[in-house]
Amino acid sequence: MDKLNQRAIKDVLETEPKIRAEVLFKFLVEGKSHRKIEKEKSELVTNDGWSSWKIIYFFGFSNNDKGQFSSLDFKSLYTQIEGAQLADLVEYHTENKTEIKYNYNNSGKDILRNIKVRVGQSKLKKRLLNNYQSQCALCSITSPDLLIASHIKPWSESNDAEKVNPENSILLCSLHDGLFDKGYISISDDYKVIFRDKANLEKQNIKTDLIFRQPNKEAPKTDYLNYHQTKHKLK
């Protein structure tokens, strides 16, 4: 999902809430393009041809969502937009990167679920960066762009609370996230690294002298570690 710059965010926030909702209704329900909406909505803050597009992307939508909520009524949409935590959305757009891709159900019950999930993942990563002192739990990598909020119980199998629970997550670099996600490695109840095929990893010049560095708080919960071990037959 595209992110907006500060100027675009300012334009969205300066647009009246009802106008924002009307733009989204025309796009999500009526299936109109942002160019056509622009011509119909003279009340938009700027007249640069992209004002409606900014609103659409600010709330987490893309071209794929055009006309996908045909059964949604305006009152329901407006209520959901009114209840949005704008500060959280602004924070999300001003950050560099989010790893999770998520496709929501387009029933219209919660049209902002996509952006809410992304905001939640962004906050989770910030929390893990603090807990793990901005370093991979299994190596010395400290670049935030290379660090991932890696879920112990897979994201797709977790409920909403588990998806943003730091005790169901470990801060890992891209390599160790991949190894953990595919079950090549796991973490035992006493926080030792478990290998599925240590010799095979060593043949590929992947280091196996790994020591799990515990976070300063909110360490991985053993229930989730057991789930991961069982799922990948490492228990």
CA distance 79 to 99: 29
Quote the mean pLDDT of the chain: 89
The three-class DSSP label of residue 201 is helix
Average pLDDT over residues 29-57: 87
| pLDDT on residue 105 | 52
pLDDT-derived band of residue 94, with 50, 70 and 90 as boundaries? confident
Average pLDDT over residues 3-11: 88
| pLDDT on residue 97 | 56
| pLDDT on residue 1 | 52
Question: Mean pLDDT: which of 84-93, 107-116, 197-206 is highest?
Answer: 197-206
* pLDDT exceeds cutoff 80 at 159: yes
| pLDDT on residue 136 | 98
Residue 92 exposed, middle or buried by CB count within 10 Å (0-12, 13-18, 19+): buried
Where is average pLDDT lowest: 39-43, 45-49, 73-77, 199-203? 45-49
| pLDDT on residue 126 | 92
| pLDDT on residue 101 | 46
Residue 75 φ/ψ, nearest 5 degrees: -60, -45
Residue 122 or residue 233, greater confidence: 233
Residue 99 or residue 6, greater confidence: 6
Say what the pTM is: 0.69
Cβ-contact 167, 217 below 8 angstroms? no
Cα angle: 207, vertex 205, 194; to 5 degrees: 40
| pLDDT on residue 135 | 98
Query: Could you tell me which residues come within 8 angstroms of residue 59 by beta carbon, excluding any fewer than 6 positions away?
Result: 20, 24, 81, 84, 89, 111, 112, 115
* pLDDT exceeds cutoff 70 at 208: yes
> Tens digits of per-residue pLDDT, 103-121?
555 555 667 777 777 788 8
* pLDDT exceeds cutoff 70 at 99: no
Average pLDDT over residues 31-48: 85
